[in-house]
Amino acid sequence: MESKSSDENCNNPNSELHPSKLMMASHFLRALFRIQHTTTDSSFAGRSRKIRRAAYASMAYSVGTKRSWSSALLRKLRSRSRLRSPNPRRAKYAALPGKPRVARPQQREMDQAQVLRELVPGGTSMDDCRLLEETTDFVRCLSTQVRLMQAVVDSVSI
């Protein structure tokens, strides 16, 4: 049965996916179509930024405030959206994760935990133990989001 085979295939990959993947999918698709419907005139770069933000927002919304990284992410997004209208320049300070940054040549010498703290949202105020916990959940959620986006791209791009 094809459904069975798909189930078997789904078993292993599903184990790596975040438990709230369906919520994530719904949030993200909603945001995606909203962006597509409402900002047809904006530039490509603006749209891609919006989509990226929507991806992180859907991640954070689906997880809620159970995790500190999601709360930190939500806070960042809300402050960004609040700052957006009055002063677009201020949005720079609330940089979303994954913003392409300059490669640091001395990254290896830096404390790796510090690097990880900067990568994971809300990680700067965590001890190592909690940092690893949050990293685990963040990685799971992020990989689920990537897979979701990849699926959408695959379906749309034929």
Partner 1 sequence: MDMHGCNSLKNEDNLDYTYSGNSSDWQQCNPSIGCLDSGNPSATVSQGNQIGSTPCSSISMADPFGAGLWNLSTESTSLDLCKDKLQGSSNQITGNSMSIGGTLLQTGSGVLRPSLSHFPSDSAFIERAARFSCFGGSDLGGMMNPYSAAQSQIPHSDASRESSGAQIQKNEINMMEAVRGASLSTTDHGSKEKDNSHAAATIRKRPSEGMALDQAKVASQISGEMDDDNVELEQKAEQNSSSAATSRPRGKQVKDGNESSKEDFIHIRARRGQATNSHSLAERVRREKINERMKLLQDLVPGCSKVTGKAMMLDEIINYVQSLQQQVEFLSMKLAAINPRLDIDIEAVLSKYVLLQTCNGPSAAMGSSSGIVRPPPLHASQQGLAQAGLSGMINLPDLLRRSINAQMTAAQGYKEEPKMQVPNAWDEELHNVLQMAYNGTVNLNTHRVQQ
Distance CA 104, CA 108 (A): 9
CA 114 – CA 123 distance, rounded (Å) = 9
Q: Per CB under 8 A, does 87 bind partner 1?
A: no
Question: In this chain, which of 86, 88, 100, 105 binds partner 1, going by CB under 8 A?
Answer: 100
Question: Would you count residue 102 as binding partner 1 (CB under 8 A)?
Answer: no
- Nearest distance, CB of residue 101 and partner 1, angstroms: 9
Contact string (CB under 8 A) for partner 1, positions 23-62, x = contact: --xx--xx-xx-xx---x---x--xxxxxx-xxx------
Residue 29's nearest CA partner among 139, 142, 118, 153 is 153
Q: Does 6 contact partner 1 by CB under 8 A? A: yes
Contact between residue 143 and residue 17 where contact means Cβ atoms under 8 Å apart: yes
* 17 contact partners, CB below 8 Å, separation of at least 6: 140, 143, 144, 147
In the chain, the N- to C-terminal Cα span, in Å, equals 25
The binding site for partner 1 (CB under 8 A) comprises: 2-3, 5-6, 9-10, 13-14, 16-17, 21-22, 25-26, 29-30, 32-33, 35-36, 40, 44, 47-52, 54-56, 97-98, 100, 108, 112-113, 115-116, 119-120, 128-129, 132-133, 135-136, 138-140, 142-143, 145-158
